[in-house]
Amino acid sequence: MMFAFLKNLTSFFAWLQIMVSPSLVGVIVGGLAWLGLKGVPGIVVGSACAALGVGLGIWWAEKARKGKGTVAFVSRIRSHPELHEQDQK
């Protein structure tokens, strides 16, 4: 029971890590668009960029979850190249 909870919790946090990176890019680009355009066009373009970033983040996290799993995806990204060389030998 407790093991399943911890497994789901780590999977959730890995999902969030995958989702947050494109979301941050979208929010930053949207913020810069909002600052650059000002007024209603800036709000529309900024909101669209932020929404696109969040949408892409959710899509990417779900794709990773349905593939090998979010924890395996994040672990593969964060692993050291030296470990890959040892696996190939």
pLDDT the model gives residue 79: 74
- With respect to residue 52, please indicate whether it lies within any of the assigned structural domains: yes
pLDDT the model gives residue 45: 95
pLDDT the model gives residue 64: 92
Q: 44 to each of 5, 28, 56, 69, how far by Cα in Å?
A: 40, 14, 18, 35
pTM: 0.78
Query: Tokens 């066009």, residue?
Result: 41
Ranges of residues in the chain with a pLDDT under 50 are none
pLDDT the model gives residue 55: 96
- With respect to residue 61, please indicate whether it lies within any of the assigned structural domains: yes
Query: Tokens 């929010």, residue?
Result: 27
Apex 12 CA angle, 55 and 57, nearest 5: 15
pLDDT the model gives residue 83: 62
Q: 49 to each of 10, 38, 89, how far by Cα in Å?
A: 29, 15, 45
- With respect to residue 5, please indicate whether it lies within any of the assigned structural domains: no
Structural domain including 58 reads 44-68
- With respect to residue 49, please indicate whether it lies within any of the assigned structural domains: yes
pLDDT the model gives residue 58: 96
Number of domains within the chain: 1
